[in-house]
């Protein structure tokens, strides 16, 4: 986080609405990605973003270190998404092959990928979503999820490994 | 101490994402020359990365969840 970003977060914490709106524009898609990674539902993920931003504005004074603001926002969104998830369905993530004998085509690959993503822990799905769909670099993802570089490497490495094991037949067809 | 072989999944992902240091990248690719197991993992991980990149270009995560093409 550079000095101007830090100042922006500091101003938002102190009640500057313009600074907070800039933070919303900067972090909105990432918060959506995190919520979507947990809920896999657009409407609910949008609700989570809205609820999280309202809560963040009301309780912003709790953040002492402006550099922690993105991770704090992400934590609020994750907790809110989990609240909704708990009311909806149980969670499990077996890392086993899915339909390995089915024919491979683009539609089938997409469906298998979706099924495989759903088996990952939510933090792993959030990291993958931020990397591939938001095209964020590791440093930005670390700040957003509040994890170290080593932890993020492990998360993305294990996630790709789990996905490639589940999609192995599709990968073989790409030779 | 972390080595490319012991943490091959993490190193391969970081390499594909352009997040390895120059030294790490050199060490990884030197290891791939001599380790057939890791070369196979590298091959599969590259293919998996390609699927994710192509999917992210064609769709957003919302569309993916709806299984639309």
Residue-wise pLDDT for A120-147, tens only, equals: 998 899 999 899 988 899 999 998 888 9
At A157 the pLDDT is 96
Which DSSP helix (H) or strand (E) runs through A38?
A: helix A17-39
ipTM: 0.84
Which residue range forms the structural domain that includes residue B54? 8-65
The pLDDT tens digits of the residues spanning A32-80 come to 888 888 888 888 888 888 889 888 998 988 899 999 999 999 999 999 9
* pLDDT reading at A173 higher than 50: yes
Domain count, chain B: 1
Nearest-by-Cβ selection for A154 from B10, B45, B61: B10
Q: Which residues of A touch B19 (CB under 8 A)?
A: 137-138, 153
Q: How far apart are CA A18 and CA A11, in angstroms?
A: 9
Q: Which residues of B touch A138 (CB under 8 A)?
A: 14, 17, 19
CA A174 to centroid of chain Cα atoms: 28
Min distance A102 CA to chain B CA atoms (Å) = 16
Q: Is residue B1 situated within a structural domain?
A: no
At A156 the pLDDT is 97
What average pLDDT score do residues B47-54 get?
Answer: 88
Q: Is residue B35 situated within a structural domain?
A: yes
What average pLDDT score do residues A28-32 get?
Answer: 87
Please indicate whether residue B68 or residue A93 has the higher confidence score (pLDDT).
A93
* pLDDT reading at A99 higher than 50: no
Is A79 at the interface with chain B, CB within 8 A? no
Q: How far apart are CA A169 and CA A65, in angstroms?
A: 47
Phi, psi dihedrals of residue B40, rounded to the nearest 5°: -65, -45
At B5 the pLDDT is 87
Q: How far apart are CA A153 and CA A49, in angstroms?
A: 26
The pLDDT tens digits of the residues spanning B25-40 come to 888 888 888 889 998 9
Nearest-by-Cβ selection for B48 from A111, A135, A163: A163
Q: Is residue B14 situated within a structural domain?
A: yes
The encoded tokens of residue A156 equal 């993305």
Please indicate whether residue A95 or residue A125 has the higher confidence score (pLDDT).
A125
Nearest-by-Cβ selection for B9 from A36, A137, A160: A160
Domains of chain A, first to last: 3-88 (1.10.1740.10), 106-172 (1.10.10.10)
Q: Is residue B28 situated within a structural domain?
A: yes
CB A160 within 8 A of CB B33: no
Q: Which residues of A touch B17 (CB under 8 A)?
A: 131, 137-138, 156
Give chain A's mean pLDDT: 84
Q: Is residue B52 situated within a structural domain?
A: yes
The encoded tokens of residue A92 equal 């499990």
Q: Is residue B30 situated within a structural domain?
A: yes
A12-A15-A21-A27 Cα dihedral, nearest 10 degrees: 40
Taking Cα atoms as reference points, which of A114, A147, A79, A115 lies closest to residue B61?
A114
Taking Cα atoms as reference points, which of A150, A20, A63, A37 lies closest to residue B64?
A37
- Coil/strand/helix, residue B4: coil
Q: Is residue B40 situated within a structural domain?
A: yes
pTM of model > 0.80: no
Taking Cα atoms as reference points, which of A26, A138, A41 lies closest to residue A88?
A41
Q: Is residue B3 situated within a structural domain?
A: no
């Amino acid at each position: 986080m550079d000095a101007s970003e830090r100042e922006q977060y500091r101003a938002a914490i102190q009640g500057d609405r313009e600074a907070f709106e800039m933070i919303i524009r900067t972090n909105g898609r990432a918060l959506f990605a995190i919520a979507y990674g947990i809920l896999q539902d657009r409407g609910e993920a949008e609700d989570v973003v809205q609820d999280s931003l309202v809560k963040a504005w009301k309780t912003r004074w709790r953040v002492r270190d402006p550099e922690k603001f993105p991770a704090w926002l992400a934590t609020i969104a994750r907790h809110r998404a989990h609240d909704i998830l708990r009311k909806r369905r149980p969670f499990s993530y077996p890392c086993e092959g899915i339909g390995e004998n089915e024919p491979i085509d683009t539609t089938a690959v997409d469906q298998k990928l979706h099924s495989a993503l759903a088996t990952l822990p939510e933090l792993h799905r959030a990291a993958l979503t931020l990397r591939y769909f938001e095209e964020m670099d590791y440093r930005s993802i670390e700040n957003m999820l509040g994890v170290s570089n080593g932890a993020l490497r492990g998360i993305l490495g294990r996630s790709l490994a789990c996905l490639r094991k589940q999609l192995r037949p599709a990968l073989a067809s790409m030779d | 101490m972390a080595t490319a072989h012991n943490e091959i999944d993490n190193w391969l992902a970081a390499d594909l994402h352009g997040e390895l240091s120059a030294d790490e990248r050199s060490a990884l690719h030197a290891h791939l020359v001599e380790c057939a197991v890791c070369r196979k993992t590298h091959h599969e991980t590259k293919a998996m990365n390609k699927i994710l990149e192509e999917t992210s270009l064609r769709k957003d995560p919302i569309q993916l969840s709806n299984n639309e093409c």
